[in-house]
Amino acid sequence: MSPLVVVVGSLHYDIMVDAPGRPRKGETVAGRAWAPKFGGKGGNQAVAARRQGIPTVMVGAVGDDDFGAALLAGLDRAGVERSTVATLGGVGSGMSVAIFDDEGDYGAVIVSGSNLAIEAHQASDELLRAAKVVVLQNEIPETINEDVARRARAFGVRTILNAAPARAFETTLPRYVDVLVVNAIEAETLGSPPVRSLADAETAAEHLSSQFVSMIVTAGGDGVAYHNESGERAALASVPVDVQSTHGAGDMFVGTLAARLALGDDMRAALLSANLAAAKLVATPESERNELRHYAKGMAASRT
């Protein structure tokens, strides 16, 4: 059977704003341009996994609107199987607005919409049994993640949880997670010491591995650290690049990691591939990775 990654998670129609800086409270900043972009942590991670050349299935929900149509088209272009993505009436598709500054960093606001209406049965037992790796994030209800992870564990399928955005756990989800991936802020939210360097990330990964089977803590431009409950560890420095945009780098990392593990790579090899893929994305200008911009133009033209 071919390796298979199943991503259960969010789809967002992103609106990207290019500005010299991000506004402070009460401040208005004049932006230079904006463009739409395919997004959502789930969608981005599914596309990243598929780019590793293995079958990838997306489980999620969009609204019966133009945003939803664009998101489904984005999955189709990437070759991600999306028969388990529901199209729902009476609820808008998920969306976000991200503001990028001159340093390539960004801040974003998401509106979850249809992502909150995902149902656990969309990820059927048959689908989960066929999977090699299941990927989850925090942009859908935790009860859905818990249900899917519990069944995946029963079927012997490895589950990766990207605990982003940060939130406290309110269910038994952690007991069913095989690999937890967090950034510095998320690690601190879960109780680790502050993460300001790769050494700090190593300390955080070791600290949190007492709660999770395997921990991965990403430290942005400093690198990534891994630690598991058996004491195995790894620390990888970041790949030096000219930063164009950090948007989506974490999702590229997680999706690539999932695909490489599904293909049978050991953890260190998978981390190396994921680190490199994220670095390449960071070095790519937004204008060169935004296919949805062209879809949106075609959609507008069809109305005139």
Query: Domain holding 124: CATH number?
Result: 3.40.1190.20
- Quick check: is 84 in a domain? yes
- Quick check: is 180 in a domain? yes
Catalytic annotation, pick one of 64, 251, 265, 266: 251
Q: What is the pLDDT of residue 211?
A: 87
Distance CA 214, CA 117 (A): 30
**Tens digit of pLDDT for each residue in 32-70?**
999 899 999 999 999 999 999 999 999 999 999 999 999
- Quick check: is 27 in a domain? no
Percent of the chain whose pLDDT exceeds 90: 78
Strand order in the sheet with 12-18: 33-39, 12-18, 94-100, 106-111
User: Is the preceding omega at residue 23 within 30 degrees of 0, hence cis?
Assistant: no
**Count of structural domains, the chain:** 1
Q: Which residues are registered as beta bridge partners of 81?
A: 57
**Tens digit of pLDDT for each residue in 160-191?**
999 999 899 999 999 999 999 999 999 999 99
- Quick check: is 273 in a domain? yes
Q: What is the pLDDT of residue 290?
A: 58
Q: What is the CA radius of gyration of the chain?
A: 18
- Quick check: is 149 in a domain? yes
Q: Is the pLDDT of residue 301 over 50?
A: no
Residue 134 belongs to domain spanning: 5-22+32-303
Distance CA 251, CA 162 (A): 9
Q: Which residues are registered as beta bridge partners of 61?
A: 86
**Tens digit of pLDDT for each residue in 119-172?**
999 999 999 999 999 999 999 999 999 999 999 999 999 999 999 998 999 999
Q: What is the pLDDT of residue 244?
A: 84
Q: Is the pLDDT of residue 245 over 80?
A: no
**In the structure encoding, which two tokens stand for residue 197, read together?**
């360097």
Range scoring the smallest mean pLDDT among 90-94, 105-109, 298-302 = 298-302
Distance CA 209, CA 224 (A): 15
Distance CA 34, CA 69 (A): 20
The answer for residues whose C-beta is within 8 angstroms of residue 163's C-beta and 6 or more apart is 137, 138, 180, 181, 182, 186, 190
Mean per-residue pLDDT over the chain, rounded: 91
Q: What is the pLDDT of residue 292?
A: 52
Q: What is the pLDDT of residue 300?
A: 46
- Quick check: is 295 in a domain? yes
Active site residue 200: no
Q: How far is CA 134 from CA 7, 76, 93, 152, 178, in A?
A: 6, 20, 23, 7, 10
Distance CA 158, CA 64 (A): 33
CA dihedral 253, 258, 260, 266 (to 10 degrees): 100
